[in-house]
């Protein structure tokens, strides 16, 4: 037997008995950041590919969600800071080694870009829209003339944003559940999937909806593949990662993860999407909502469970 | 210069004087601590073996907290001592997540706080408060680059271990076993 206790008394808030320094706003941000990354990536990609005529929801209308998602996400991040009024310190330095520093800088550029991109389609959305001020009109004309380079910037920044939501966690070797290189690609795929689901839900055109249903199905398949590999990696890993996997394979997160995230959030919507493609009448909102809720739960569970896992010595 | 600490687990009696000395010296807020004492029991009755350890920030050579800090508030000062500059810290919690020893905490004022090896005392040529208060003299503090220092001598002659070496942090608090 081997028993270890702290005898000098230690009950530090948010650290003992197990780490709890990041709360639900972080998970909400990871979800909203991934959603915005997904939407902006598809808008950028299909602008570059010149598909804006037959994929109007992806390129134009869904992007109105992104600025709101990003601003809400930034508010959530701010809420969970403990020394809030020093947040500007993020922008007095660039720390190459720190994923959070990368993320902060990417957000500084992609948030205004999402506003500019969606605003440039206000004229098409609202007939007779007038920017009133001359400078805004000139800026709007400049954006419309430079859509292609902006789309490239947006597609690249959104990929960095999407993968960063996972790398933020995977960079911590002290939390064995997070400390796997698969987490970045997994969070990126999940973010793209939630983005595709949002576009599918918002789209009024049948062919566009089916196109994004197919994309979402592929993304769900990749996500399931990554999840299986994640646990294969843990089970072939050191003791601390075996313990992390145990939380999901035979522990408190078994039902929430495999039942809610994988079952209701990935497999059920995938079945519904397959039926829809075969001509069944299934409202697009149903699989889309399941995927969005599943994506949020996935991040809540990974953040919560990761903070429990630790090195034992 | 490389500051480090060695703690003799055979001499420690677990009195927690080091914890109180630190709290008073560094004005640590009530309910928080920068160092703590663990008791590990191996075996089963009547064949028991007890190990007492005074633990704190390990001032790692490969410090994950310094790496992940987005503002540079966590930094490595002279002699490898890992410090936090409160006015640069945004309280994001990344360094707290990154520490395999759970040695950092969020100070009630918002910034992150931890053991400093009492750098303010060390600069004046004094020992850290925990070391100077220890009634059994089980703690050694000094410069590993100086072969004549107490810590260099004790690490040369005794068997020792560090905590969670598998985390790859290269910790600089040594436990004599």
* pLDDT at residue number A113: 98
Specify the number of domains making up chain B.
1
Query: How far is the C-alpha of B78 from the C-alpha of B1, rounded, in Å?
Result: 8
Mean pLDDT, residues A56-70: 96
Q: Which residue of B has its CA nearest to A79?
A: B92
Task: Give the CATH number, domain containing residue B121.
Answer: 3.30.70.20
Q: In the predicted model, what is the mean pLDDT of chain B?
A: 96
Task: Give the CATH number, domain containing residue A146.
Answer: 1.20.1630.10
Encode pLDDT of B67-86 as tens digits. 999 999 999 999 999 999 99
Q: Where in the sequence is the domain holding A185, given as residue range(s)?
A: 24-308
* pLDDT at residue number A313: 62
Q: Produce one character per residue of A272-290: b if its CB has 16 or more CB atoms within 10 Å, e if not.
A: bbeebeeeeebebeebbeb
Encode pLDDT of B107-159 as tens digits. 999 999 999 999 999 999 999 999 999 999 999 999 999 999 999 999 999 99
- Compute the nearest-CA separation of B125 from chain A (Å): 28
Mean pLDDT, residues A263-289: 95
Q: Please name the member of B37, B102, B110 whose beta carbon is closest to the beta carbon of A83.
A: B110
* pLDDT at residue number A129: 85
Comparing CA positions, the residue from B167, B172, A173 lying closest to residue A181 is A173
Mean pLDDT, residues B95-118: 97
Give helix A183-202 / helix A147-170 axis angle, nearest 10°: 130
Query: How far is the C-alpha of B110 from the C-alpha of A92, rounded, in Å?
Result: 19
What secondary structure letter does DSSP report for B48? Answer: E
Mean pLDDT, residues A79-101: 95
* pLDDT at residue number A132: 85
* pLDDT at residue number B54: 97
Contact A1 B64 (CB under 8 A): no
Encode pLDDT of A163-189 as tens digits. 999 999 999 999 999 999 999 999 999
* pLDDT at residue number A131: 85
Query: How far is the C-alpha of A268 from the C-alpha of A95, rounded, in Å?
Result: 42
Specify the number of domains making up chain A.
1
Terminal Cα distance for chain B, rounded: 25
Query: How far is the C-alpha of A270 from the C-alpha of A273, rounded, in Å?
Result: 5
Lowest mean pLDDT among A69-73, A167-171, A279-283: A279-283
Contact A89 B93 (CB under 8 A): no
A–B interface: beta-carbon pairs under 8 A: 157
Mean pLDDT, residues B13-37: 97
Residue A1 in domain: no
Q: With beta carbons under 8 A apart, name residues in chain B contacting A99.
A: 68
Q: Please name the member of A6, A90, A97 whose beta carbon is closest to the beta carbon of B90.
A: A90
Q: In the predicted model, what is the mean pLDDT of chain A?
A: 95
Q: Could you tell me how far CA A124 lies from the centroid of its own chain?
A: 28
Comparing CA positions, the residue from A264, A295, A104, A113 lying closest to residue A188 is A295
Query: How far is the C-alpha of B128 from the C-alpha of B139, rounded, in Å?
Result: 10
Using a pLDDT cut of 90, give the percent of chain B over it.
98
Handedness of CA A231, A311, A29, A37 (dihedral sign): negative
Comparing CA positions, the residue from A188, A231, A210 lying closest to residue A274 is A210
> At B37, phi and psi to the nearest 5?
-120, 130
Q: Could you tell me how far CA B163 lies from the centroid of its own chain?
A: 11
Q: With beta carbons under 8 A apart, name residues in chain A contacting B98.
A: 171-174
Q: Which residue of A has its CA nearest to B47?
A: A1
Q: Where in the sequence is the domain holding B167, given as residue range(s)?
A: 3-176
* pLDDT at residue number A126: 87
Please enumerate in sequence order all residues whose Cβ is within 8 A of that of A152, keeping only pairs 6 or more positions apart, or say none: A44, A48
* pLDDT at residue number A1: 65
Give helix A99-119 / helix A65-79 axis angle, nearest 10°: 150
Mean pLDDT, residues A278-297: 95
Please enumerate in sequence order all residues whose Cβ is within 8 A of that of B120, keeping only pairs 6 or more positions apart, or say none: none
Contact A2 B42 (CB under 8 A): yes
- Compute the nearest-CA separation of A245 from chain B (Å): 18
* pLDDT at residue number A130: 84
* pLDDT at residue number B8: 97
Residue A17 in domain: no
Contact B96 A21 (CB under 8 A): yes
């Amino acid at each position: 037997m081997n028993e270890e206790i702290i005898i000098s008394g230690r009950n530090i808030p948010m650290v003992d008995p197990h780490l709890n320094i990041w709360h639900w706003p972080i998970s909400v941000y990871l979800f909203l950041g991934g959603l915005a990354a997904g939407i902006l990536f598809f808008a950028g990609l299909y602008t570059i590919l010149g598909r804006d005529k037959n994929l109007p929801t992806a390129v134009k209308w869904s992007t109105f969600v992104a600025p709101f998602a990003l601003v809400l996400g930034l508010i959530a991040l701010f809420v969970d800071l403990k020394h809030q009024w020093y947040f500007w310190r993020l922008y007095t330095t660039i720390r190459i080694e720190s994923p959070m520093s990368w993320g902060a800088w990417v957000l500084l550029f992609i948030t205004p870009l999402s506003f500019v991109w969606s605003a440039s389609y206000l004229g098409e959305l609202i007939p007779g829209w007038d920017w009133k001020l001359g400078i805004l009109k000139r800026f709007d004309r400049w954006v419309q003339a430079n859509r292609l380079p902006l789309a490239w910037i947006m597609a690249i920044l959104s990929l960095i944003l999407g993968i960063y939501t996972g790398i933020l966690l995977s960079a911590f070797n002290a939390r064995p559940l997070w400390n796997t290189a698969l987490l970045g690609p997994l969070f990126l795929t999940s973010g793209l999937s939630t983005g595709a689901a949002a576009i599918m839900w918002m789209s009024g055109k049948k062919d566009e909806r089916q196109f994004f249903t197919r994309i979402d199905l592929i993304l769900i398949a990749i996500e399931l593949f990554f999840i299986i590999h994640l646990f294969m990696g843990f089970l072939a890993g050191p003791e601390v990662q075996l313990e992390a996997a145990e939380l999901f394979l035979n522990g408190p997160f078994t039902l929430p993860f495999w039942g809610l995230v994988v079952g209701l959030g990935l497999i059920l919507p995938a079945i519904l999407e397959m039926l829809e493609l075969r001509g069944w009448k299934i409202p697009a909102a149903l699989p889309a909502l399941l995927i969005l809720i599943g994506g949020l739960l996935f991040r809540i569970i990974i953040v919560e469970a990761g903070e429990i896992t630790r090195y034992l010595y | 210069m490389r500051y480090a600490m060695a703690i003799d687990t055979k001499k420690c009696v677990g009195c927690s004087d080091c914890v109180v000395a630190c709290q008073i010296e560094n004005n640590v807020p009530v309910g928080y601590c920068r160092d703590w004492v663990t008791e590990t029991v191996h075996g089963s009755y009547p064949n028991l073996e007890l190990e007492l350890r005074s633990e704190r920030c390990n001032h790692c050579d490969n410090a994950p907290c310094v790496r992940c800090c987005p503002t540079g508030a966590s930094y490595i000062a002279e002699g490898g001592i890992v410090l936090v500059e409160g006015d640069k810290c945004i309280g994001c919690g990344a360094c707290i997540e990154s520490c395999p020893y759970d040695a950092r905490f969020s100070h009630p004022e918002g910034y992150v706080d931890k053991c400093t090896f009492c750098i303010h005392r060390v600069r004046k040529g004094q020992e850290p408060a925990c070391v100077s208060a220890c009634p059994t003299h089980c703690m050694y503090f000094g410069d590993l680059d100086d072969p004549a220092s107490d810590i260099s001598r004790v690490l040369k002659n005794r068997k020792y271990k560090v905590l969670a070496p598998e985390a790859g942090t290269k910790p600089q608090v040594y436990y004599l076993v």
